[in-house]
Amino acid sequence: MENIAALQEFLKTPRNIVITTHQKPDGDAMGSSLALYNYLQPLGHEVRVISPTEFPAYFGYLPGCDEVWNYLENPSLSQIAIESAELIFCLDFNDLGRIEPLNEFIKKNETAKLVLIDHHLNPQIDAEWILHDTKACSTCELVYRLYEILEPAYVPTKEVSECIYTGILTDTASFSNGATSKKALEITAHLLDCGLNIIYVQEQLNQNGREEKLRFIGNALSRNMIIREDIGIGIIIVDKKDAYRFNLQTGDTEGLVNYPLSIKNVKVAILIKQEPKIIKLSFRSKGEISVEKICRENFEGGGHRNASGGRSFLSIDETIDKIVQIFEKEKIV
C-alpha cells in the first residue's frame, strides 16, 4: 500500500466511515468487513458496514453482525450513509458493478476517499489507497496485514480474531485449496494466541444447519448433476422449483459447486443457479486451469484462477449448452 502515512494521518481524526463488500457476501466478505469494523469502531470512528444484499443467517455469530445493514432492507439510510461518508472501504471485490446499486451512491459522493482491499484478479477500482494482492489467501489476510502496516504493535482481540479466521477458513475451503499458504497458517497460529476458538467457529459454520439444506444437497447430487468426464466437467443445477421445494435460504448453496471435483476426471465444476432475473454461475477448477478467464470472456464475471463466478441471461438449457460448447473447444482433458 502506497502513501500509508497519509492514511494513518487521516485516521487520527474521528471519521465517518462506510465499509462495503460484494453482493451475497460470503465468509471472507463478512469476515473482512467485520474484522475492520471491530478494529476501527473502538478507535472512535463512526463506522457502518453496508451489504448490497442479504447475507447468510449463519454468519450471525460474527461479532458486530447485528450492526450490518442490508441495503435492500434499509435503502434510504444506506444511501445517506454512503453519500456522507468521508472514507469508504471496498472489501473483497474488484469491480464496482459487484456492489450495485451502491456504486451509484459512491459516485455521487465526490469527496469520499476510497480504500480498496482485495485479492481478486484484474482490479478495476480507482481508489486513493489500494491493498491488493492476488496471492493473499483471502481479503481477511489483507485486513490482518493492514493492522500490521497501520499499527505494528496491534494485538487482535478475540472478536477480530474470529472474523479474520472465518475468511481464511472459508476462502481456503478449510485449508484445502490452492489459496492455502504459509501465511494463512501463520496468521491462524497467531490468532489462536489472541483467543480464537476454532471449535466454536466450526460449530457455528458447519454444525448449526437445517435438515432441509442437507436434503437439498442430497437431491441436487442425485438428480441435478451432469457429469461429462469426456470433456472434464461436472455441472450441478439449482432451479427455482428446488429453491421453493427445499425452502432454500441465502448461503445454502455455498460449497455445493465443489462436489463434482471429487471425481477423478472432472477438472472443472460448475453450479448453475436460477435466480429471479438471471442465472448465477459458480466455477471451480483443479490445478492450472483458469476458470477466471472463462468467466471473464463468456459470462461477464471473474474472480480467481480456481474459483470464479459470472452470470447468464439464457435459459438453463441454453446455459448448459453454452458451457458444454466452451469445454468441447477448451480441451482440458
Q: Which does 302 bind (CB under 5 to 8 A by kind): ligand 5GP, Mn ion, none?
A: ligand 5GP
Q: Which does 301 bind (CB under 5 to 8 A by kind): ligand 5GP, Mn ion, none?
A: ligand 5GP
Separation between Cα atoms, residue 310 and residue 304, nearest integer Å: 12
For residue 287 the three cell numbers come to 490445478
How many residues sit close enough to ligand 5GP to count as binding (CB under 6 A)?
A: 15
Give the x-and-dash track for 246-285 against ligand 5GP (CB under 6 A): ------------------------------------x---
How many Å is the Cα radius of gyration of the chain? 20
SS3 content of the chain, % helix, strand, coil (to 5): 45, 20, 35
Task: Tell whether residue 228 is a contact of ligand 5GP (CB under 6 A).
Answer: no
Q: Are 152 and 182 in contact (CB under 8 A)?
A: no
Q: Report the residue number, 119 or 273, with the smaller CB distance to Mn ion.
A: 119
Separation between Cα atoms, residue 330 and residue 118, nearest integer Å: 29
Task: Tell whether residue 132 is a contact of ligand 5GP (CB under 6 A).
Answer: no
Q: Which does 308 bind (CB under 5 to 8 A by kind): ligand 5GP, Mn ion, none?
A: ligand 5GP
- Which residues inside 294-323 make contact with ligand 5GP, applying CB under 6 A? 301-304, 307-311
Q: What strand order describes the sheet that includes 46-51?
A: 69-70, 46-51, 16-21, 87-91, 113-118, 129-132
Largest Cα–Cα separation, the chain: 61
Residue 47 identity = V
Residue 197 identity = N
Q: Which does 242 bind (CB under 5 to 8 A by kind): ligand 5GP, Mn ion, none?
A: none
Q: Report the residue number, 52 or 301, with the smaller CB distance to ligand 5GP.
A: 301
Could you tell me the smallest distance in angstroms from the CB atom of residue 165 to ligand 5GP? Answer: 18
The residues that touch Mn ion, with contacts defined as CB under 5 A, are 28, 92, 139, 171
- The three-class DSSP label of residue 49 is strand
Q: Which residues bind ligand 5GP (CB under 6 A)?
A: 22, 26, 95, 98, 120, 282, 301-304, 307-311
